[in-house]
Structure 1
Amino acid sequence: MTKPTCAISGCEQGVIARGWCHRHYKRWQTHGDPSYVPPVRDWRPRFWARVDKTAPGGCWVWTGSVESKGYGAPTINGAKRPAHRVAYEDLVGPIPEGLHLDHLCRVRRCVNPEHLEPVTSRENALRGIQTKLTDDQARALHERWRSGEGVTALAREVSMHPSTLHHRFRLLEGR
């Protein structure tokens, strides 16, 4: 025996009540119409309202939610996306296949497309390690780390990921 399907045209889900599937029944309960489709809101006004274009150095700083590594993390159409990628795609176009966006300014919350360059993953990592700190700064942090300070606290001080700073320390040690 086949289970009855939803009465809404094109819906093949099983019936739970009133001849409708769960989704259409809930739409009827909430909006009084089982065929109600919520309007798709333009995310751009909300996104750009969270960008501060007055920061020093020409950075456009994302002021909304930030993920654990320090990158902006807006919700676009129900999904979290990196803010710099959203801004680049909105103002410039698609990011070429297989490439990452390098923050030339080294500010992870920056969404200014003039500060973003599509590069390979390897190039992005190398640039991050080499340009984040001068050799003198890296040596000073390395000394502090060798004297017992935690790499996480040191990395936070210079806005780096701890593993990136630790890798820089290994380069200093010749490993």
Structure 2
Amino acid sequence: MRIPAAEWAFWPADDSVRARYWAKVHRTSTGGCWFFFGAISDTGHASFRAASLPGRTRRGTVPGHLYGYQVAQGVIPRLG
């Protein structure tokens, strides 16, 4: 299920969502590596719940690297 573009545009701008994301990220001072201490998907990638609707769809759970990139660089046009 695709996440609506309006949600992708909203989540990186929302202070409370950003604060929850950064609470799960550790940035090293050398080398620029970032470590994610939140949920990890079955494929081994970061999984971040930006928002969630009740039920089994888990809409609002997004790849952590996509959310982090959009916070740092701006919304990816094809997503939002």
TM-score (norm 1): 0.30
Any runs of at least 4 consecutive aligned residues in structure 1 with deviations exceeding 2 A, and if so which?
Answer: none
RMSD of the TM alignment (CA)? 2.5
Alignment partner, residue 71 of structure 1: 45
2:26 to 37, 43, 52: 52
Aligned residues: 59
Ranges in structure 1 where 5+ consecutive residues have no aligned partner: 1-39, 99-175
Which of residues 68, 72, 79 in structure 2 aligns to 1:91? Answer: 72
Answer 1 or 2: which has greater helix percent.
1
Give the TM-score normalised by structure 2: 0.61
Unaligned runs of 5+ in 2: 1-13, 53-59
Q: Distance in 2 between matches of 1:65 and 1:55?
A: 23
Counterparts in 2 of 1:12-23, with a 5 A limit? none
- Which structure has the highest strand share of the two? 2
Give deviations 1:91-129, integer Å, cap 9, x for gaps.
Answer: 21122438xxxxxxxxxxxxxxxxxxxxxxxxxxxxxxx
**Could you say which structure has the greater relative contact order, defined with CA pairs below 8 angstroms and 6 or more residues apart?**
2
Aligned amino acid, residue 57 of structure 1: G
Q: Given that residues 52 and 62 in structure 1 are in contact (C-alpha distance below 8 angstroms), is that contact kept between their aligned partners in structure 2?
A: yes
